[in-house]
């Protein structure tokens, strides 16, 4: 814990702008004296006090409710004072300035982004996965994401991780006890059924990893890029998927000069749909800039929808898109304007769909395919929200267990290597909850929070 983690901190805890209520929050080691200075009396913990909030000269800044939470029974694990007044920016700024003035001798300072939740983590009120869920709940853009975030905040995800880690620990204890007493002539792997125990742990991790991948998709969504020649219906498809006219549609080729981004939700999963400028050779300077941005979007896409006119399915761009995309980014060929054909296309390749952005035919199949490309199972909502770093940690743990299985397939001569892989798998799981974490990682995580949380 750094010295700055012991400073008392203060911030406006409500979102910027005007509102009926605004909250100034203070957290520190011993705030009773500061609370008495600000309120004019000693607060009773966990009681609501309705009173004026005065400046240093006794003039009223506002009036509202003061709540005092004594350590360790607070959000941060420290003393916490919350002043709940009216939500005007000027009033809240004055109230915060008064708090900083009154707490100057104690070293009271402005809180950094996420610092209240960081202290809750450092004081073991929350583990790291729960702390991240606080920010995820605030940022949730769908009901499914909000349900997943509250499940993570309640400790459901952490409980699964800790239960799995405990099983690895128990196996580690047996292995290391055997290594400590090499004179005991026993076949450890056979006597303690280590191979079967490891197989059970691995099966549980695989299930947990699948659920966590679902949770990561639910949180982070999918970056879907609409690419293709001019006038193949990219903007029309964007409007059809969004259910509103968010992009201009005309018969003039090259209407879209810059990217248009729209977020939609499919089965609770956020999709960030990007309509791009048509890909072609052009002497128009503005259009060339738009096309350059189109290629930039293609390079960072999670999924590329390569739109073609079903009447003239030009495949000339296939090789160039394949060369510019990330090697693991899937490309789905979409034959738009299929309603203008004499017959709807049949027996299409697996990576090709026919749609009509105009009448909506084929869009349900496209939505289902998009979710499948994301790795999302319709109706298979994750029991918690997760982040990409959680998935990476679980994948790393899985890799170590795979190597441990390879050692277990031999005999007790490689028992020390078996034990080492178990240790590394355990540490990978500990990164999720913060049991094994660096200050740099904590800094990156909490700096992404809003100020006051």
Instruction: List the binding residues for K(+).
Output: 231, 250, 252, 255
> Which value, in Å, is the radius of gyration of the alpha carbons in the chain?
28
The distance of Cα 289 from the centroid of its chain, to the nearest Å, equals 32
Contacts of 235 (CB under 8 A, 6+ apart): 247, 248, 249, 255, 256, 260, 275
**DSSP assignment string, 87-149:** E-HHHHHHHHHHHHHHTTTTT-EEPPTTHHHHHHHHTTSS-HHHHHHHHHHHH--SHHHHHHH
CA dihedral 352, 354, 357, 362 (to 10 degrees): -100
How far is residue 41's CA from residue 437's CA, in Å, rounded to a whole number? 42
Binding positions for GTP are 231-236, 250-256, 275-278, 336-339, 356-358
Determine the Cα angle at 440 with ends 390 and 446, to 5°: 65
Annotated binding site for Mg(2+): 235, 256
Binding site as annotated, residues for (6S)-5-formyl-5,6,7,8-tetrahydrofolate: 25, 82, 125, 453
Any idea what DSSP says for residue 420?
H
Dihedral (Cα; 130, 216, 262, 304), 10-degree rounding: 160
- Please enumerate, by residue number, every residue annotated as part of a binding site: 25, 82, 125, 231-236, 250-256, 275-278, 336-339, 356-358, 453
CA angle 160, 163, 167 (to 5 degrees): 140
Residue 271 is inside which H or E element, if any? strand 269-275
CA–CA distance from 438 to each of 1, 124, 162, 346, 431 (Å)? 11, 16, 19, 55, 9
Contact criterion met (CB below 8 Å) for 181 and 148: no
| SS3 assignment, position 322 | helix
The residue assigned the tokens 């909250």 is 23
């Amino acid at each position: 814990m750094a010295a700055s983690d012991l400073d008392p901190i203060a911030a406006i805890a409500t979102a910027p702008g005007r509102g009926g209520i605004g909250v100034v929050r203070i957290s520190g080691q011993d705030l009773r004296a500061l609370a008495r200075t600000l309120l004019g009396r000693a607060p009773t913990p966990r009681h609501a006090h309705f009173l004026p909030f005065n400046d240093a000269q006794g003039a009223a800044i506002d009036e509202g409710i003061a709540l005092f939470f004594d350590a360790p029974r607070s959000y941060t694990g420290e003393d916490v004072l919350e002043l709940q007044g009216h939500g005007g920016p000027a009033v809240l700024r004055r109230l915060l300035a008064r708090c900083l003035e009154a707490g100057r001798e104690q070293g009271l300072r402005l809180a950094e982004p996420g610092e209240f939740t960081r202290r809750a983590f450092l004081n073991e009120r929350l583990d790291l996965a729960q702390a991240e869920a606080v920010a995820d709940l605030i940022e949730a853009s769908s009901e499914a994401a909000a349900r997943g975030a509250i499940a993570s905040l309640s400790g459901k995800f952490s409980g699964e991780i800790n239960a799995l880690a405990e099983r690895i620990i128990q196996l580690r204890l047996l292995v290391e006890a055997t290594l400590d007493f090499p004179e005991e002539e026993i076949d450890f792997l056979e006597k303690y059924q280590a191979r079967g125990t490891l197989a059970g742990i691995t099966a549980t991790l695989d299930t947990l990893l699948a659920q966590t991948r679902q949770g990561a998709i639910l949180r982070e969504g999918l970056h879907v890029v609409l690419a293709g020649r001019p006038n193949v219906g990219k903007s029309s498809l964007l409007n059809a998927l969004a259910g509103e006219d968010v992009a201009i549609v005309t018969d003039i080729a090259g209407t879209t000069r810059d990217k248009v981004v729209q977020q939609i939700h499919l089965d609770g999963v956020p999709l960030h749909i990007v309509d791009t400028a048509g890909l072609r050779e052009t002497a128009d300077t503005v259009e060339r800039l738009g096309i350059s941005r189109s290629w930039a979007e293609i390079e960072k896409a999670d999924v590329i929808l390569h739109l073609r006119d079903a009447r003239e399915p030009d495949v000339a761009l296939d090789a160039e898109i394949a060369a510019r995309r990330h090697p693991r980014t899937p490309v789905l060929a979409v034959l738009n304007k299929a309603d203008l054909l004499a017959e709807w296309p049949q027996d299409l390749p697996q990576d090709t769909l026919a749609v009509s952005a105009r009448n909506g035919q084929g869009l349900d199949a496209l939505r289902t395919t998009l979710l499948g490309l994301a790795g999302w199972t319709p109706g298979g909502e994750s029991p918690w929200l997760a982040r990409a770093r959680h998935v990476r940690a679980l994948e790393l743990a899985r890799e170590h267990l795979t190597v441990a299985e390879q050692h277990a397939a031999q005999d007790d001569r490689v028992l020390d290597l078996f034990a080492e892989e178990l240790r590394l798998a355990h540490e990978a799981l500990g990164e999720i909850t913060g049991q094994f974490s660096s200050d740099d990682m904590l800094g990156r995580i909490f700096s992404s929070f809003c100020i006051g949380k």
